[in-house]
Copies of this chain bind each other. A is one copy, B any other.
């Protein structure tokens, strides 16, 4: 049981040991020393047990997803990661092995992404485990990628493959039993351990007009870019890049399946818009970073996101994207 341990000293402080400004997690606050000529980028995501993850998911994967969804937000701003503050509201019956594994997951990803725990707060809750992470990154001053500069005529690009997150959720509840174990495992892994596209994000500084990470679903997040930029977008369903696992699904209705993949969320790929003349430059970045990029549509005057099916006619979407409320 947690009560017998000093959570901060025993488990969290080691994660802050290499960051002088964390003050050993012994002080009232942490100190960040901003580098000259750089803006600080700040993002915050909450995850609640039973809503955003299952209580029986491995603790290290929960921790890593929590960190990665926040790093994905930094990626979509073109920022480099610096560190994070962790809010940890835990039920009293939580056991110490769980916390140990949770912190091992954070330690693993701290190394991979070169970030450090800098501070936070631990409290008890009568409710489910609730995790709140605030991540910090930085970019050269004025160069953060925003959602608000997409222009009619821009190409809409996405990284990686789309829809694996929601298929991973499907697999968890026993859907698509015809898929091979390998495909099922790949989809589950995409859901549990997303890949924040940090290297891509900062290669797009000065190039992307509008950028977002795909957490609520491609249509919804592209929609956010459109709203912020006062433009519309047209997506070509047939161009949307699918993983081998997604291709192996044999749905009853192709358009309905596409709609499922592009409105399901939890992909943590980047969607961004560029001027057509930058297409080649972006292709080079894609090759350098080994991250597949695909042109999936266009920005147009107007508003909203329209999706065209194989026959060139608009697909009716079942929903627009993940709703938080």
Q: Are A27 and B120 in contact (CB under 8 A)?
A: no
Interface residue A134 (Cβ < 8 Å from any Cβ of B): yes
Which of A28, A31, A119, A124 has the most B CB atoms < 10 Å from its CB? A28
Interface string of A199-240 (1 = CB under 8 A from B): 000000000000011000000000010011000000000000
Interface string of A28-40 (1 = CB under 8 A from B): 1111111010111
Interface residue A18 (Cβ < 8 Å from any Cβ of B): no
Chain A 144-202 interface residues, beta-carbon cutoff 8 Å to B: 144, 146-148
Q: Are A40 and B40 in contact (CB under 8 A)?
A: yes
Q: Are A41 and B31 in contact (CB under 8 A)?
A: yes
Q: Are B42 and A29 in contact (CB under 8 A)?
A: yes
Q: Are A31 and B26 in contact (CB under 8 A)?
A: no
Cα distance A224–B147 when bound, in Å?
A: 44
Chain B, residue nearest A132 (CB)? B132
Partner of A28 from B47, B122, B147 at Cβ < 8 Å? B147
Q: Are B325 and A2 in contact (CB under 8 A)?
A: yes
Known contacts A3-B325, A29-B74, A132-B46, A127 near B126 by CB under 8 Å: yes
Cα distance A81–B51 when bound, in Å?
A: 33
Contact size class for A?
Answer: 35 or more
Residues in chain B near residue A89, CB distance under 8 A: 46, 48, 130, 132
Cα distance A3–B325 when bound, in Å?
A: 5
Cα distance A222–B162 when bound, in Å?
A: 53
Residues in chain B near residue A127, CB distance under 8 A: 48, 125-128, 130
Cα distance A123–B123 when bound, in Å?
A: 19
Chain A 25-81 interface residues, beta-carbon cutoff 8 Å to B: 26-34, 36, 38-48, 50-52, 73-74, 76-77, 79
Name 18 A/B residue pairs within 8 A (Cβ), A-sorted. Answer: A23-B146, A27-B77, A28-B73, A28-B147, A29-B73, A32-B39, A33-B141, A34-B34, A34-B39, A42-B134, A42-B136, A44-B121, A45-B121, A51-B125, A52-B123, A90-B325, A92-B325, A123-B324
Please report A residues at the B interface, Cβ cutoff 8 Å: 2-3, 5, 7, 21, 23-24, 26-34, 36, 38-48, 50-52, 73-74, 76-77, 79, 85-90, 92, 118-128, 130, 132, 134, 136-137, 141, 144, 146-148, 212-213, 224, 227-228, 323-325
**Inter-chain pairs besides A31-B40, A44-B121, 9 sampled, C-beta below 8 Å:** A23-B146, A27-B212, A29-B74, A29-B79, A32-B39, A32-B42, A44-B134, A48-B125, A51-B125
